[in-house]
Amino acid sequence: MDIVTVQNLKKYFGSGPRQVRAVDGISLSIEKGKLTAVIGASGSGKTTLLNLIGGLYKPTEGTVIIDGVNLGRLQEEELTIFRRRKIGFVFQDCNLVPELTVRENILFPLALDNSRPDMIFFEKLTGLLGLQEKLDDFPYMLSGGGQQCTAIARALIARPAIILADEPTGSFDAKTSQNVAGLLKMTTDTFHQTLIMITHNLELAQLADYVVRLQDGRIVQ
Amino acid sequence: MDDILKTLTRRSFAASRARNWIAVLAIALTAVLFTAITTIVIGTAESFTLTIQMQKMSQSDGDLRYMTEEQFEALHQADFIDTAGLRMPVAFLTNASRHNIEFNIEDEIQAELTFCVPTHGRTPSAANEVVASDLALRDLGIEPEVGAEIMIAFTAHGQHYTLPMIVSGWYEALNSQMSVLWAGTAFREEHPEIFRYTFSADRELAGTYWSDFTVRSTLNLEKKLRELVFGLGGEPDDMNAPNYMPAVVNQVTNTRPSFFQITATVVFAALFMLCGYLLIYNVFDIAVMQDIRRFGLYRTIGMSRKQVRRLINQQAFWLSCIGIPLGLLVGFFTGKAALPLIMNMVVTEYRHLAADVSPSSALFLTAAALTALTVFCSTRKPIRIAANTPPIDAFRYVENSGGRRASRKSALGTSIPRLAWSNLGRNRQRTAFIMLSLTLCVVLLNCAGTAADSVDVEKETAFMMRTDFAVVNEASTSNFKGFVRRSDALKAKTIADIAARPGITDGSVVYKNTAEDTNVTYDFGHSLTGETYRNDSSGLTFGYDHVYNHYGLGDDGRMICNVYGMAENALARMDLREGETNPHVLYEKMAAGDGILVGVGVNRRDMSFVPMLDLADVGQIITVYKNGTPIMELPILAKAALNGDDQEIGFTVNGPNEIGGDGLFLYLPANIYEKLYEQPTVYKYSFNIEDEYEAEMTAFLEDYMKTTDPSMNYLSAQSARKSSEGTQQMIRFVGGFVGLIFGLAGVLNLINTIITTILTRRQEFAAMESVGMTRRQLTGMMVWEGVYYAAGACLFGLVLAAALNLTLVKSLVDSMWQFTFHFTLLPALGACVVLLLVSAVVPILALRCFRKGSIVEQLRITE
Ligand SMILES: Nc1ncnc2c1ncn2[C@@H]1O[C@H](COP(=O)(O)OP(=O)(O)OP(=O)(O)O)[C@@H](O)[C@H]1O
Ligand SMILES: [Mg+2]
């Protein structure tokens, strides 16, 4: 079953001669529980595509359907709620809230949704990511890898339909990068999560079930 | 799960401590403004009310009279009555000489409401104990002293009583004419025959119950009171009814604020709200801007707009929770401290009196509500910006949102001031806010300064006084009385005692005709309409002419005019305009019976004759009648322009208004005056004094007024000048205060902006430092930026101040005669110098703070 369906998706920035066609007619569908890697040169439209799928941008044209819901049909506030329930984000710089502890950061999306955390899932998740000892630390006390693990846990805690990761290992050295990617893959596998990950690292792309290569806003084979 | 949100609010709050302090300061400042102004407005109003209540000798909400015992008891049952005093008038004492002493039975509530609670000793308890005023006791021949024995004599029910009493306590009289001597209810038990109720039959007051009372709410008081009177079986209107019971609402206590007061309050409240808005908006705007990435993150993770709004609202709420109470406290005490100063400036009578404003909940609630409203208004827009932060965009493109930025970084090659200049446009709105508050500061200070400078102290003083001192009967200085009767004369002994003092020059006595001098009348061919009315206070009949000027008429139906008699030195001080203007020649001729001097009222603005009051020409003949027969024909030899001093001292006009009316002001030499009037009544004694004796004379007069002749009063040029200077100071104070507040708002905004600039551009600064910009150059750049703000505001401010000076201030000032417009930009220039200095110092201090690292530490945490 396809969890994500994208049809003829376009996103243009600006207008006139300086218009940028960041995403220019992309169609794809992604199966539940699989890892999709998005690769391509800098400026090829990877982040834009991911943000479109995550509902952060409104497409210029085309549709995004996630878990049967057409994002284009949602009102602004509905989209926000959809996002916090169905989509988990992991960014290159992990964007944790500095005033919250690791535990609080992870539980933050649930707090926003006013829903109870599943503590067994929480234990298991933090156990897999090696965070049990650090739950009461503040982000600045953690290593970069630890911070990214926290961000991964935060993305997964609401058991979203898909996880979107934009160069999650981009700012780490090779070894940490390997570790983090491994953990990300392992957790998504463990919990049968669908993951779409942008990466420049071809080794990481090897781990993927599918690889999508972009060039000038289009998919190339 | 809401806990995490709360934790977040709490921790972010703690993390941005510096920013929060600025916010608290801004909110507190706004609250201070509102509280201070509310305190001052309430305090001034209360003080004025109390002053008038003291003059009228009651601070009750109303009073009821002529009641029987049953009615008095029933009065207490009325639901709207809060407290009701007991007063049973007996009579005026017959053994008093000048001071009128009213003898009452009273209780403590009544005494409290009518200002006769003993300040020394205690309230009466035994039947032979009384409380009296110092003036009453002196009039009865003893010094005020607890335990002293006095005799009181009075008549009640036709029976004459003379009783020995003991003074159990005394108080300072508020009124030199009259005061109350009171005994307790024990006296009534001892002399029941005095308190038989016979009022309905013979109108005997002894035996009736009176009551001054206070009410729970003054709403519809008049109506409620009339209903009460009817309910008690009384008749409020018909004076001749046996059950007559007037219901009197104390209009002094229950005054409504005037339109002017309301307008002034609203204008100030609006100004302060604007000021608060400028401050608070800016603080939150900056806070939101600094946190824009954070809001982007929250939105991405799934925080809804509503949640973002709630987050900031909560922050604003907590900040207000600290800022408002702080501001209320500081503001209350500031207002309280400023109140006596303000009262001193505006009130010349009962100078010592400033109502003690107690911290009332209404006051605090009003101020708190206004502040909260200001906070609410000023956070709307920043909150909207935060809530509308697009999720991911905030991460990457916020840096560029200022536009036109890229080209700027390359500007390093140019001069430091140029670099600073290019930074100004980064946030137009904020720049505008700083400019606006600083400009308002400059403009307001200058307008107030111009208005204060334009108070023409000398003109006002000269109009009130022609000599250093003028001594009169107290009645002549009262706005309620005026010099009307022979009994309002200045005592001969007082004049003699004063004249015996050293240093007096040019002393002169001035006579004035009274309501009793109706047998001397004047005819100058001015015709009246024949319509007349009776003036209640002077008892004279008045007639009208065709332009509705009114004239007091004598026994023979001719005008009695306002006639003054004086010595040559007094006449020489007058402003002779037409005819014979040499005072000596004029006086010689008049003394020989060859003519008369006519005074004409003037427009105070330019001292020109008022055409409507300019009734006769030089050369015209005035015929003087005595007892109906013409005795003299006096041609008008000259005309003089009158000031306040030529009519009555100061600005009281009751006297002339109730004698001659608008009719001619005639000035005669003393010898002719004495010949015309049987009993020449001395109106005033005026004199100059050698400088070294001035203080001594003031002290002498003050003391003489207290100890020897309480019916006397005086005005000195110095006190006239002081009261005029009071106006000036008042304008300076209020204008300065408001101006200062805006200055403060501007500077706070400036501090805030400079700090923000430093925060948001620290990478840029680092980059600049790395390409060789020294710390000094960096500081220099920020100083230039601050100075540009101030310079811009100063420039605008000066232009605007000059423009407003020549238009608004000039037309305001020109409409009041005490002012002579005086253009000045000095206050604005002064403000500019201060602002320029401050704006240069602020960046230096701010950068120094940062170097210490404390804020940098915090930055790292929030990063
Ligand atoms: N919000 C925006 N406004 C204007 N142009 C944008 C915006 N977002 C992206 N672009 C432009 O769209 C094109 C694609 O950008 P995108 O960020 O999707 O590339 P990318 O593949 O993620 O690159 P990288 O590997 O460097 O992250 C680029 O030319 C970029 O400048
Ligand atoms: Mg990208």
pLDDT tens track for B78-126: 888 888 999 999 998 988 877 788 999 999 999 988 888 999 999 999 9
Average pLDDT taken over every residue of chain A: 88
Residue B405 has pLDDT above 60, yes or no: no
* Cα distance between residue A79 and residue A66, in whole Å: 12
Tell me if B817 is assigned to some domain: no
Give yes or no: residues B68 and B50 share one domain.
no
Angle between helices B305-346 and B717-760 (to 10 degrees): 160
**What pLDDT is stored for residue B407 in this prediction?**
40
Positive or negative CA dihedral for B688, B690, B695, B696?
negative
pLDDT tens digits along B64-81:
888 999 889 888 888 888
pLDDT tens digits along B376-397:
999 998 899 888 887 765 444 3
Closest CA–CA distance from residue B311 to any residue of chain A (Å): 11
Positive or negative CA dihedral for B545, B546, B548, B549?
negative
Residue B129 has pLDDT above 90, yes or no: yes
Give yes or no: residues B126 and B26 share one domain.
no
pLDDT confidence band for B406 (50 / 70 / 90): very low
Q: How many structural domains are present in chain B?
A: 3
Tell me if B543 is assigned to some domain: yes
Which among B680, B702, B721 is the end of a domain?
A: B680
Residue B347 has pLDDT above 60, yes or no: no
Closest CA–CA distance from residue A81 to any residue of chain B (Å): 6
Closest CA–CA distance from residue A111 to any residue of chain B (Å): 5
Q: Helix/strand/coil (H, E, C) string of B583-598?
A: HHHHHHHHHCCCCEEE
Q: Which ligand is nearest to the CA of A41?
A: 1
Tell me if B563 is assigned to some domain: yes
Q: Which residue of A has its CA nearest to B387?
A: A77
Give yes or no: residues B225 and B271 share one domain.
no
User: A70-74, B388-392, B730-734, B858-862: which range is least confident on average?
Assistant: B858-862
A13 lines ligand 1 (CB under 6 A): yes
Contact pairs from chain A to chain B, CB under 8 Å: 79
Give yes or no: residues B98 and B229 share one domain.
yes
Tell me if B629 is assigned to some domain: yes
**Does the interface predicted TM-score (ipTM) exceed 0.90?**
no
* Cα distance between residue B551 and residue A205, in whole Å: 112
pLDDT confidence band for B227 (50 / 70 / 90): confident
pLDDT confidence band for B602 (50 / 70 / 90): confident
Which residues are within 8 A (CB) of B437 and not within 5 positions of it... i.e. 6 or more apart? B275, B278, B279, B742, B743, B745, B746, B749
pLDDT confidence band for B439 (50 / 70 / 90): confident
Q: Which residue has the higher pLDDT, B428 or B827?
A: B827
Q: From A21, A46, A202, give the residue whose CB has the most ligand 1 atoms within 8 Å, as the site to mutate.
A: A46
pLDDT confidence band for B55 (50 / 70 / 90): low
Contact across the interface for B1 and A77, Cβ inside 8 Å: no
A48 lines ligand 1 (CB under 6 A): yes
**Which of B274-278, B297-301, B666-670, B804-808 ranks highest by mean pLDDT?**
B666-670
Tell me which residue in B3, B304, B863 faces A98 most closely, judged by beta carbons: B863
3-class secondary-structure state, position B509 = strand
Domain containing A100 equals: 2-220
Q: Which residue of B has its CA nearest to A86?
A: B302
Closest CA–CA distance from residue B808 to any residue of chain A (Å): 51
**Which of A56-65, B467-476, B659-668, B853-862 ranks highest by mean pLDDT?**
A56-65
**Atom in ligand 1 nearest the alpha carbon of residue A44:** 21
Tell me if B425 is assigned to some domain: no
Among B604, B838, B674, residue whose Cα is nearest residue B740: B838
Residue A51: its chain B contacts at CB < 8 A?
Answer: 392
**What pLDDT is stored for residue A4 in this prediction?**
92
3-class secondary-structure state, position A56 = coil
Give yes or no: residues B106 and B230 share one domain.
yes
* Cα distance between residue B732 and residue B729, in whole Å: 5
Residue B428 has pLDDT above 80, yes or no: no
pLDDT confidence band for B478 (50 / 70 / 90): low
B287 touches B382 (CB < 8 A): yes
Average pLDDT of the segment spanning B661-673:
89
Q: Which residue has the higher pLDDT, B702 or B418?
A: B702
pLDDT confidence band for B252 (50 / 70 / 90): low
Tell me which residue in A54, A76, A111 faces B5 most closely, judged by beta carbons: A111
Q: Can you list the alpha helix ranges (DSSP code H) found in A56-200?
A: 76-86, 102-113, 119-128, 144-156, 174-190
Give yes or no: residues B225 and B88 share one domain.
yes
Contact across the interface for B390 and A109, Cβ inside 8 Å: no
Give yes or no: residues B528 and B665 share one domain.
yes
Give yes or no: residues B197 and B104 share one domain.
yes
A47 lines ligand 1 (CB under 6 A): yes
Strand order in the sheet with A2-13: A20-31, A2-13, A61-66, A69-70
Contact across the interface for A114 and B2, Cβ inside 8 Å: yes
How many Cα atoms occupy the beta-carbon half-sphere of A68 within 13 Å? 1
**What pLDDT is stored for residue B771 in this prediction?**
64
Q: Which residue has the higher pLDDT, B416 or B362?
A: B362
Contact across the interface for A80 and B305, Cβ inside 8 Å: yes
Contact across the interface for B4 and A77, Cβ inside 8 Å: no
Residue B358 has pLDDT above 60, yes or no: yes
Domain containing B128 equals: 59-249
Q: How many structural domains are present in chain A?
A: 1
- Residues in A whose CB is inside 8 Å of some CB of B read 51, 54, 56-57, 76-77, 80-81, 83-85, 89, 91, 95, 97-100, 104, 107-117, 140, 154
**Which of A38-42, A92-96, B607-611 ranks highest by mean pLDDT?**
A38-42
> Global pTM?
0.65
Q: Which residue has the tokens 């004759």?
A: B609
B723 touches B461 (CB < 8 A): no
pLDDT confidence band for B49 (50 / 70 / 90): confident
Tell me if B498 is assigned to some domain: no
**What pLDDT is stored for residue B118 in this prediction?**
92
pLDDT confidence band for B348 (50 / 70 / 90): very low
Q: Helix/strand/coil (H, E, C) string of B370-419?
A: HHHHHHHHHHHHHHHHHHCCCCCHHHHCHHHCCCCCHHHHHHHHCCHHHH
pLDDT confidence band for B730 (50 / 70 / 90): confident
B401 lines ligand 1 (CB under 6 A): no
pLDDT confidence band for B425 (50 / 70 / 90): low
Tokens of A179: 């570790």
The one-letter amino acid code at B366 reads T
pLDDT confidence band for B859 (50 / 70 / 90): very low
Tokens of A178: 């390997």
pLDDT tens digits along A126-169:
988 889 899 999 888 888 888 989 999 999 898 888 999 988 88
A11 lines ligand 1 (CB under 6 A): no
Q: Could you please report the per-residue DSSP string of A152-176?
A: HHHHHTT--SEEEEESTTTTS-HHH
Contact across the interface for B301 and A107, Cβ inside 8 Å: no
A37 touches A199 (CB < 8 A): yes
Q: Which residue of A has its CA nearest to B395?
A: A95
pLDDT confidence band for B536 (50 / 70 / 90): low
* Cα distance between residue B598 and residue B600, in whole Å: 7
Ligand 2: centre distance to CA B721 (Å): 79
**What pLDDT is stored for residue B461 in this prediction?**
82
Angle between helices B2-15 and A102-113 (to 10 degrees): 120
CATH number for the domain that contains residue A122 = 3.40.50.300
Q: Which residue has the tokens 């009169």?
A: B472
Ligand 2: centre distance to CA A46 (Å): 6
Beta strands in B642-681 (DSSP E): 665-669
Give yes or no: residues B340 and B370 share one domain.
yes
Residue B350 has pLDDT above 50, yes or no: no
Average pLDDT taken over every residue of chain B: 82
Tell me if B727 is assigned to some domain: no
**What pLDDT is stored for residue B2 in this prediction?**
62
User: A95-109, A131-145, B417-431: which range is least confident on average?
Assistant: B417-431
Which among B650, B680, B710 is the end of a domain?
A: B680
Q: Which residue has the higher pLDDT, B765 or B59?
A: B59
Give yes or no: residues B275 and B127 share one domain.
no
A15 lines ligand 1 (CB under 6 A): no
- Tell me the C-alpha to C-alpha distance, in Å, between residue B431 and each of B282, B614, B762: 10, 60, 20
Tell me if B152 is assigned to some domain: yes
Give yes or no: residues B578 and B630 share one domain.
yes
Give yes or no: residues B240 and B319 share one domain.
no
